[in-house]
Amino acid sequence: MPSDLTDLLRQRRSIRAFTQDPVDRHTVERLCNAARCAPSGANLQPGQFHVLTGTALTGLKTRLGQAVADNTPIDLEYSYFPDVMPPELKDRQRKAGFALYEALGIARRDVTGRRDQFAKNYRFFDAPVGIVVTINRDMGKGCFMDLGMAIMAFLLAAEDEDLGASGIGALANYGAIVHDHLELPQDEMVVCGIALGVPDKEAKVNQFRTERLPLDAFTTFRGFDD
């Protein structure tokens, strides 16, 4: 029978609309402690979670909103996607984007609507809690994998608390601005953000789900009898 963990994995989705119900500090502390249970090579436990709410979050959103309004050039410190996106991955990316915009009623040629929706990344989708995730610049690529596992543990813990969350890779587009605004240590690099709050169950954007590959598309089995 499926375990509770399997159910959490299947029901988890990226939440992009929230109620304004607050999330208290003790709850977020539980989620962060759950994230730190993730495995890491040599137990290095890479990454920092900078949790913002209230005026602290509003200040960062205002700074990022100004950057968007000013068309500030993107300054990404690390490569998120392949430098040349293979056709099959580009197709997968487009399908996910088109499905999201379709759920929101945004036409494919509605450039303004798509731009406005993307800008919500920099508002943490108006969630009551925003988290800036960083990593030490000297860490190797494997440590990004370890940090990813910590983030996933955080997302599952949020789901277990009946909260909603979404990773925000776009935050790193303005990593230098985030770094400066939060006065982070020089050796920390902004990796992504996380929006956290109570899901707005009526919002159409929260009904949207991306497709997952079938098992035979990403798995091979060797040495089994059946």
Q: Does residue 217 form part of some domain?
A: no
Q: Does residue 34 form part of some domain?
A: yes
Q: Which residues of the chain have pLDDT under 50?
A: 1
If one counts the domains in the chain, the total is: 1
Q: Does residue 105 form part of some domain?
A: yes
Strand partners, 196: 129, 165
| Pairing outcome for strands 129-136 and 164-168 | unpaired
> What pLDDT score was predicted for residue 26?
98
Owning domain of residue 145: 18-204
Backbone phi, then psi, for 131, in 5-degree steps? -125, 130
> What pLDDT score was predicted for residue 54?
98
Against a cut of 0.85, is the pTM above it?
yes
Distance of CA 66 to the CA centre of its chain: 21
Q: Does residue 124 form part of some domain?
A: yes
CATH number of the domain bearing residue 131: 3.40.109.10
Q: Does residue 53 form part of some domain?
A: yes
Structural tokens at position 98: 């088109």
Q: Does residue 200 form part of some domain?
A: yes
